Structure 1
Amino acid sequence: MENLQKQLIITGATGMVGEGVLHEAILSPYVNQILVINRKPCGVDHPKVTEYLLTDFLKPEEMREAIKGYDACLFCLGVSSVGMNAEEYKQKTYDLTLGFAHVLQEENPNMSFSYISGAGTDSTEQGRLAWARVKGKTENDLSKLGFGDYYSFRPAMIKPTPGLKNALPFYKYINWTFPILNALVPHMACTLKELGEAMLEVSIFGSAKKTIEGNDILALAKQMRMRL
């Protein structure tokens, strides 16, 4: 176990997905150190966790010393395109992520980088939906940066982890749909716990598949649970 223990960087821990992924990383016996990089404090106090406040993610150069020596990054920071113009969405999705990842790769070229994308992302960058094209370009260009390993995660509906504080408000109105989705289209929904477990699985043990769709998330999460 000691040889498999990893040092992780996690972003987005003040949001629903990042908080849930951080929760699973704290619980994991395969993780012994976590650097949380946020704009504001996430409020998590745990011996495994160190926090670095990066007030402007478009200016990641200042974090160089803090990020040295880590094995993997679980990039859970993201924004919705709803109500946002195309240029602003591109800046907060593509420019922000690539700039951050570029600095990480320069300091830790052998690290694994996992990016939370989304179901429906357009890898061709030619489709009708602007958000899907931007996500597709982000995935494609991240894969070319030269990380030791790279994964794109494409969850659809995510069921929040009970007891955590950053679940988006509308989830309380749609939670009842998850059993129906699981019965009719199992790969369309996962729990936040399963997403976190799947991200830990690829970060620690790797995966031949690099674009992780809904059914892959479920399989990887099951694989991680079998290791414990």
Structure 2
Amino acid sequence: MRVLIFGASGMVGQGILLECLRAVDVAEVVSVGRSPLPQKHPKLKEILLPNLFDIATVTDDLSNFDAVFFPLGVSSFRMSEADYRYITYDLAMKIASLVARQSPQATFCYVSGRGTDINSRTMWSRVKGELEEALLRLPFADAFMFRPGAIRPMDGIKTKTPLYNAIYLLFSPIVPLLARLFPAQITTTREVGKAMLAVARKGYPSPILEPIDIRRAAGVSI
């Protein structure tokens, strides 16, 4: 299987990347991103693109993929709706539309967020809801929208936000207990990566995966 990842340098993207590199049935992983990744691997090929809106400049590198994973995203904190829509909706659709033409046989997996709702009054939720519906209409072989809630970083992965790292460190001793008490609320970077590979291989009954679906797809007993 050939896998294409956008946003592999982020917390969720790192988890997905690690699971792809571990998977015996993944022959090649191509990462498209703005900056170099910390790890090197025989399976891994990097395409550096400082401005991802210039995705058309690497069109020839986007063909013949079996799976496309898109954990790329930004926080809506202190952003106007116009700016957030541009970075979230416009960028994702520009990339995904091109990849759908180059690799129509691929399964596309987008990392959205728990609470996404096209009818929501909350700006980020509504924008991501519109994006989910638009992505599901693209001519991929299949597409799935992942809506993780709280995500526990594994394998030494850290976020790019120091405050979040401090919060994870503070609550890390009780997170395993919280995951058992609230299985529908908490996932891990490892589970998200395993779940994406699982749905790329054999699909899933629903195109929308909430946290409990992500855990089930990853093989976790609920």
TM-score (norm 2): 0.93
Q: 1:196 aligns with which of 172, 185, 193?
A: 193
User: Contact between 2:66 and 2:105, CA under 8 Å: does it hold in 1?
Assistant: yes
Q: State the match for 1:219 in structure 2.
A: 216
* 2:87 equivalent to 1:92: yes
Hey, what's the Cα distance between the residues in 1 that align with 2:28 and 2:132?
A: 26
Q: State the match for 1:154 in structure 2.
A: 147
RMSD of aligned alpha carbons = 1.6
Deviation at 1:89, TM superposition (A): 0.6
Per-residue CA deviation, residues 142-173 of structure 1 (Å, 9 max, x unaligned), is: 00111110000000001001323546432223
Structure 2's unaligned 5+ residue stretches are none
Hey, what's the Cα distance between the residues in 2 that align with 1:194 and 1:183?
A: 14
What does residue range 59-138 of structure 1 map to in structure 2 within 5 Å? Answer: 59-122=54-117, 125-138=118-131
Hey, what's the Cα distance between the residues in 2 that align with 1:83 and 1:173?
A: 25
**Identity fraction in percent:** 36
In structure 2, what residue type is equivalent to 1:134? Answer: V
In structure 2, what residue type is equivalent to 1:94? Answer: Y
Q: Which moved more, 1:179-188 or 1:65-74?
A: 179-188
Q: State the match for 1:183 in structure 2.
A: 180
TM-score (norm 1): 0.90
Q: State the match for 1:30 in structure 2.
A: 25
Hey, what's the Cα distance between the residues in 1 that align with 2:15 and 2:209?
A: 18
In structure 1, what residue type is equivalent to 2:189? Answer: L
In structure 2, what residue type is equivalent to 1:147? Answer: F
Name the SS for the 1:69 alignment partner: coil
Deviation at 1:178, TM superposition (A): 2.0
Structure 1's unaligned 5+ residue stretches are 1-5
User: Contact between 1:74 and 1:114, CA under 8 Å: does it hold in 2?
Assistant: yes
Hey, what's the Cα distance between the residues in 1 that align with 2:108 and 2:70?
A: 7
Q: State the match for 1:208 in structure 2.
A: 205
Deviation at 1:184, TM superposition (A): 2.8
Q: State the match for 1:3 in structure 2.
A: none
User: Contact between 1:158 and 1:191, CA under 8 Å: does it hold in 2?
Assistant: yes
User: Contact between 1:159 and 1:190, CA under 8 Å: does it hold in 2?
Assistant: yes
Deviation at 1:88, TM superposition (A): 0.8
Name the SS for the 2:120 alignment partner: coil
Deviation at 1:216, TM superposition (A): 0.5
What does residue range 44-55 of structure 1 map to in structure 2 within 5 Å? Answer: 44-55=39-50
In structure 2, what residue type is equivalent to 1:195? Answer: V
Hey, what's the Cα distance between the residues in 2 that align with 1:183 and 1:164?
A: 21
Q: Which moved more, 1:182-191 or 1:213-222?
A: 182-191
Instruction: Check 1:167–1:195 CA distance in 2 against 1; reply closer, same or farther (3 A cut).
Output: farther
User: Contact between 1:35 and 1:49, CA under 8 Å: does it hold in 2?
Assistant: yes
